[in-house]
Amino acid sequence: MNGNEHEHVIEVTDLRRVYGGGFEAVRGISFSVNRGEIFALLGTNGAGKTSTVELLEGLARPAGGRVRVLGHDPYAERAAVRPRTGVMLQEGGFPSELTVAETARMWAGCVSGARPPLEALELVGLAGKTGVRVKQLSGGERRRLDLALALLGDPEVLFLDEPTTGLDAEGRRDTWELVRRLRDAGTTVLLTTHYLEEAEDLAERLAILHEGRIAAAGTPAEVTAAQPSRISFELPLGYFVGDLPPLDDMGVCGHEVDGRVVRLRTHELQRTATRLLVWAEGAAVELGRLDVRSASLEEAFLGIAREAAEGVGTRTKEYAA
């Protein structure tokens, strides 16, 4: 963060959203997104991702806090913000009888300065489907049509709500490639996703939401680094975890034993692995199925969700991403 407010294309401060009946879906979150950055919002089902993105899109008024997109309030100053943003909702909801080309033309008619519809369809790989009715498209093709429509206005800021849900592996990779190309051309992208590899691969920074609060935020590497690495192995018959050097001395921060299988957690992977291997060598012990791995974003996510659910060390506050 460079403190230069003009670089923050999206700024969210202590944002709250309360639905009728008093349910608080977004409970005071803060983050900012820089120009030309891809930022991912992750979270378990019902964490508040869509509720947040809708506030950024100006579709609802926050119950508290502040949102600025391109320096404007997207709800109160919708006319200033809307033409400069592209929105891909979770459910596009287009008339299913229209063809792909008709849908794109109809949509382009509502966008000032729209790029040619065929160009948008080409970007998402649907140029060969112009004559196909929307109802005949596969789920993945519909998501790509949603994305083409979001791109029609050549937006400065793109909101993508689960852009690759329903896409096969190739379609997902193609979409990532397109999002990266858009970013390289200067577009700022905020996306929500359930695919952790998508966030790890695409996003410069991310925030993990849990029950309306930010549970962790930073670069994928920063979020992952906060989680322990894992070492697992199987001890030979007749050996027990108590035969290892004292776990504290090995830098182990947690362990589980399941029969002869031992799983160690550590924030000092090199130290723990070295002590373990030196011990095994000295004791002439063959460690079966030895597996040493750094935490992945997926492990970080599951760890955060588990901690939050257990209420243990919940880090659900004051993350300024």
Instruction: Tell me which residues touch ligand ATP (CB under 6 A).
Output: 19, 23, 25, 43, 45-51
DSSP H helical ranges for the chain: 49-56, 78-81, 100-108, 117-123, 139-151, 169-184, 196-202, 220-225, 269-282, 297-310
Residue with tokens 């891909």: 88
The residue (of 58 and 153) whose beta carbon lies closer to ligand ATP is 58
d(CA 96, CA 191): 26
Q: Please, what is the minimum distance in Å from the beta carbon of residue 228 to ligand ATP?
A: 26
d(CA 306, CA 241): 25
Q: Write down how long the chain is.
A: 321
The residue (of 191 and 235) whose beta carbon lies closer to ligand ATP is 191
CB neighbour list of residue 21: distance below 8 Å, 6 or more residues apart: none
Q: Please, what is the minimum distance in Å from the beta carbon of residue 174 to ligand ATP?
A: 23
SS3 16: strand
Q: Could you report how far apart the first and last alpha carbons of the chain are, in Å?
A: 8
Q: Please, what is the minimum distance in Å from the beta carbon of residue 72 to ligand ATP?
A: 23
The residue (of 45 and 112) whose beta carbon lies closer to ligand ATP is 45
Q: Please, what is the minimum distance in Å from the beta carbon of residue 287 to ligand ATP?
A: 40
The residue (of 46 and 128) whose beta carbon lies closer to ligand ATP is 46
Q: Please, what is the minimum distance in Å from the beta carbon of residue 189 to ligand ATP?
A: 17
Provide the residue type at 224 as one letter: T
Q: Please, what is the minimum distance in Å from the beta carbon of residue 308 to ligand ATP?
A: 14
d(CA 75, CA 135): 32
What angle is formed at CA 223 by the lines to CA 30 and CA 189, rounded to 5 degrees? 55
Q: Please, what is the minimum distance in Å from the beta carbon of residue 50 to ligand ATP?
A: 3
> How many CB atoms are located within 10 Å of the residue 316 CB?
21
The residue (of 19 and 240) whose beta carbon lies closer to ligand ATP is 19
Residue 162 phi/psi, 5° resolution? 50, 65
The residue (of 194 and 271) whose beta carbon lies closer to ligand ATP is 194
The residue (of 23 and 240) whose beta carbon lies closer to ligand ATP is 23
Q: Please, what is the minimum distance in Å from the beta carbon of residue 286 to ligand ATP?
A: 45
Q: In what order do the strands lie in the sheet with 261-266?
A: 252-258, 261-266, 229-234, 288-293
For residue 143, which of 200, 111, 191 has the smallest C-alpha distance? 191
The residue (of 50 and 99) whose beta carbon lies closer to ligand ATP is 50
